[in-house]
A and B are shown apart, each in its own frame.
Chain A
Amino acid sequence: MITLTINGETTEVEDGKTILQACLERGVDVPYYCYHEDIGIDGNCRMCLVEVNGNTDKLTISCKQPCGEGMDIQTESPEVKKARKGVLEFYLINHPLDCTICDEAGQCPLQDYAYRHGPGDSRFVEEKRHADKRVEFSDKVLFDAERCILCTRCTRFFENVRDSRPIGVCEMGGKSTITLGPNGKIEDPYQLNIVDICPVGALTSRAQRFMQRVWFMDFAETVCPGCSKGCNIQAGAYQGQLKRFEPRRNADVNKSWMCDDGRLSFDTYNLDDRVRGFRALGADATIEQAVAAVRKAVGDGAGVAVLASTKNTCEELFAIRTWAQGKGVTTLWHGASTWAGDDFLKQDDATPNTAGAVALGFVPVPADATAPRGLIVAGDVDIPEHLLDGLDFLVVQAPQVGMLAEGATVLLPGRTAMEKRGTWINHQGIRQEVRPALDPGAGVPADWALWRDLADAGWPSFAHLRAATDEALAGVVPSGGAPAGDVVETSA
């Protein structure tokens, strides 16, 4: 441990930390662009200057300077403030004043720092530098060379995180710019992360370009439902429509990253043809009629199987299991779907809660399974064809009207993964909190409440169901009962 003083406060810092890391950990606001927790240190932006041991002749870049014993660090001295102002004035010389158009506005560190630390005025009367404002880096990413401040976070993301070099810095001095390498457009399946880490609006995602201002969106801190990795995301919605997924930092799961497939899947949760209300025996029904119809069809539970989607949360699966046990249904299947994963984040299992389903006693549909007498389908799931032959009845709980919903004896409304509440357990065994980003509106009750009503279970609120689920999972999941890994950190 190293003892040093930050702004007059003596504190202890672990060995090997830099001054910037020490300051950020203690909530001391030091502006920075080029440093990023998960990319590493570079030291080119000169934004994080601090005063060390009273040396005002030469300020230190705090991101590169390791902490030393007995250091006296000042982050708000007049010299530091003056230096920040100067650095920002240099940045703003050539940065175009197009915040009105720029998608980054509202979440732009340059905008924020110019407001907080900047000179507030420009002495630059000459013509600004002009450069190409629309370079196609790939089918997903556009680059605006005028806005770029050359922090090289994007090139270092590929070098340090993805171990490739599709883009780099070329030319010198005022002509420096980021350019594509000789192999042409970026093809990396994680390339949209450079749009997030770009501290200005130089890199924009073509799917989200000019869609909606960030300040109009409501963000829900939740988990990506795309695969069993469970990347922490914030889902931005505007007027009931999802507009974007952005990764949240979680050092144990996804660091600051997520895959492009997961990120661009946001639109699949904006459903038009929803199942609203209940249907039983081909006619609209009330919830009481639907519950009665299910009860009558299931009878004593013999020969009935449950096939639950692994997009259901642990709480919902627990409620389904409670219902099944109460009705004498012993066959609990889960329906996980697969896609091609990779060796970075994306997993082969394309559903987020297979581990949770397994922990709660659900098994995959056996290859030699014969068609049951009745099948209860909970959630969005692909059903093996042979299970549908010779069914007496089919109960479907689905968010969307589809082929399966047409043939159902009883149709119950369901919620999509972006409307659910509860926890998912990822492939590492980390249980993570899922929060609804959308409200499906009238006629779609919460899944957990629907299964509670079917099961006649006595959980007056979600908290009671959560407690019961925690108990059921205790000792089964490596992280124990309590949800873990819900680290909320947003890097600039």
Chain B
Amino acid sequence: MAKVIERPKLTWYEHLYLPAVAQGLAMTFREMFKPNITMQYPEERQVFYDDYRGAPVLVKDELGREKCVSCQLCEFICPPKAIVIEPGEIPHDDPDNHVEKAPREFFIDMLRCIYCGMCEEICPEEAIFMSSEYELNGTNRAELIHNKAKLYERGGKRVDSIRKWKDK
């Protein structure tokens, strides 16, 4: 059984129609002179606070050395199992050989990553950080599996107060 809704009876003022137009235009003009709350993306970008959890990246220390020693704790803790590390030995003739270990390869599958930040939290060497990068796209799936070179390129250098390997 269809429900019949009665049309409201309009007053003569409402029947005039023009006052409503004027009201609407008044709001339009009012808003025109207020500051914008939208942004002209992609020309303008949001600035994030430091703790924003964007795509995880690897960082190098103040001397440009790899911080990651491939302890694989991030691989262990990663809830969606997005991280895979192939550990490797630093060659004996390398000046940083005293650190002994570095990743041979480091993969983060960004199709799996859930941006939880556990990797950053667990890292004992402060080598992996959540960047503020949030636009990840590629033309195929393989492009979204970030390898070591890509992760270091995105991470860059990071100077911390603790310099564990400084004098060693």
Give chain B nearest CB distance to A241 CB in angstroms: 12
Number of A-B contacts (CB under 8 A): 35
Interface pair B69/A100, CB less than 8 Å apart: yes
| With A209-B89, A210-B88, A212-B87 as contacts: A101 and B72 at CB distance below 8 Å | no
CA distance A41 to B166 in the complex (A): 42
User: Chain B interface: which size bin?
Assistant: 10 to 19
B53-75 vs A: 1/0 string, CB under 8 Å?
00000000000000001111101
Chain A residues with CB below 8 A from B73, complex form? 100
| With A133-B98, A134-B92, A216-B76 as contacts: A211 and B87 at CB distance below 8 Å | yes
Q: Is B144 an interface residue (CB 8 A)?
A: no
Interface pair A101/B69, CB less than 8 Å apart: yes
Chain B residues with CB below 8 A from A134, complex form? 92, 97, 100
CA distance A439 to B98 in the complex (A): 38
Interface pair A133/B100, CB less than 8 Å apart: yes
Interface pair B76/A210, CB less than 8 Å apart: no
Chain A residues with CB below 8 A from B87, complex form? 210-213
Interface pair A210/B101, CB less than 8 Å apart: yes
Q: Is B156 an interface residue (CB 8 A)?
A: no
Q: Is A215 an interface residue (CB 8 A)?
A: yes
Give chain B nearest CB distance to A102 CB in angstroms: 9
CA distance A105 to B87 in the complex (A): 14
B74-99 vs A: 1/0 string, CB under 8 Å?
01100000000001110010000111
| With A133-B100, A210-B101 as contacts: A101 and B89 at CB distance below 8 Å | no
Within 8 A of B (CB), among A175-208: none
> Which of A99, A101, A134, A212 has the most CB atoms of chain B within a 10 A radius of its CB?
A101
Q: Is B124 an interface residue (CB 8 A)?
A: yes
Q: Is B120 an interface residue (CB 8 A)?
A: no
Q: Is B125 an interface residue (CB 8 A)?
A: yes
| With A100-B124, A100-B125 as contacts: A213 and B72 at CB distance below 8 Å | yes
Interface pair B76/A215, CB less than 8 Å apart: yes
Give chain A nearest CB distance to B84 CB in angstroms: 9
Chain A residues with CB below 8 A from B88, complex form? 210
CA distance A209 to B76 in the complex (A): 19
Within 8 A of B (CB), among A106-134: 133-134
Interface pair B89/A100, CB less than 8 Å apart: no
Chain B residue nearest to A211 (CB atoms) is B87
CA distance A133 to B101 in the complex (A): 13
Chain B residues with CB below 8 A from A105, complex form? 71
CA distance A98 to B101 in the complex (A): 11
Chain A residues with CB below 8 A from B76, complex form? 213, 215-216
Chain B residues with CB below 8 A from A209, complex form? 89
CA distance A179 to B100 in the complex (A): 21
Chain B residues with CB below 8 A from A213, complex form? 71-72, 76, 87
* B-binding residues in A (CB < 8 A): 98-101, 105, 133-134, 209-213, 215-216
Other than A210-B87, A213-B87, A216-B75, give 14 A-B pairs with Cβ distance below 8 A.
A99-B71, A100-B69, A100-B73, A100-B124, A101-B69, A101-B99, A134-B92, A210-B88, A211-B87, A212-B87, A213-B71, A213-B76, A215-B76, A216-B72
> 7 tightest CB-CB pairs across the interface, nearest first?
A100-B71, A101-B101, A210-B87, A213-B72, A210-B89, A100-B124, A101-B69
